[in-house]
Amino acid sequence: MSEMQVEMNLNDALEANKIEQAALLEKIKARDAEQRTAALAPVLAAIKQHGFSAVELRFKTLSPERNVKGATDLRSKVAPKYRDPETSTTWTGRGKTPAWMAAHIAAGRDKSEFLIELPILDGADKSATTPG
């Protein structure tokens, strides 16, 4: 067998393997879809039986603009905790650290330097009072 024939046989075998692989992937996808459908059936039955809404199941939330019959947005609003002094951009301190904060920290600054100071209202500074 010549080198060219060996290479042609290898190419044919490779092509046959690719076709077989594609067929197996299709079978796997079909099996996974069947399993998902089977797993979902009792869940859907329970949802229907108990009358859950999408909001109750936390599949979606109502925004204030779409407030229906007194329903409220389930997401809690959080006041910003940090402010970038250069751009006045704020961050609540939740989720991924924003680029401006990461840059300041990388430059050796402390996160506490960017805390937003809240004003004390109506003499509410309780530390100055003594119990008595």
- How many beta carbons lie within 10 A of that of residue 51, not counting itself? 7
Residue 98 has pLDDT above 90, yes or no: yes
Q: Is the pLDDT of residue 121 over 80?
A: no
* Residue 61: other Cβ atoms inside 10 A: 13
Domain encompassing residue 86: 78-120
Whether 68 and 101 share a structural domain: no
* Same-domain status, 67 and 90: no
Domain count, the chain: 2
Flag whether 126 is in a domain: no
Q: What confidence score (pLDDT) does residue 132 get?
A: 47
Tell me, yes or no, whether 11 and 29 share the same domain.
Answer: yes
Q: Looking at the domain assignment, is residue 132 inside a domain?
A: no
Same domain, yes or no: 33 and 65: yes
53 and 27 housed in the same domain: yes
- Residue 4 inside a domain? The answer is yes
- This prediction's pTM: 0.37
**Cβ within 8 Å of residue 105, ≥6 positions away:** 97, 111
99 falls within a domain: yes
Residue-level pLDDT at 71: 53
Tokens read off for 49 = 């039986």
Please check whether residue 130 lies inside any domain of the structure: no
Q: Does the pLDDT of residue 59 top 80, yes or no?
A: no
Same domain, 4 and 32: yes
Are 34 and 85 in the same domain? Answer: no
Confidence class of residue 34 from pLDDT cuts 50, 70 and 90? very high
What does each C-alpha distance from 18 to 24, 32, 67 come to in angstroms? Answer: 10, 21, 53
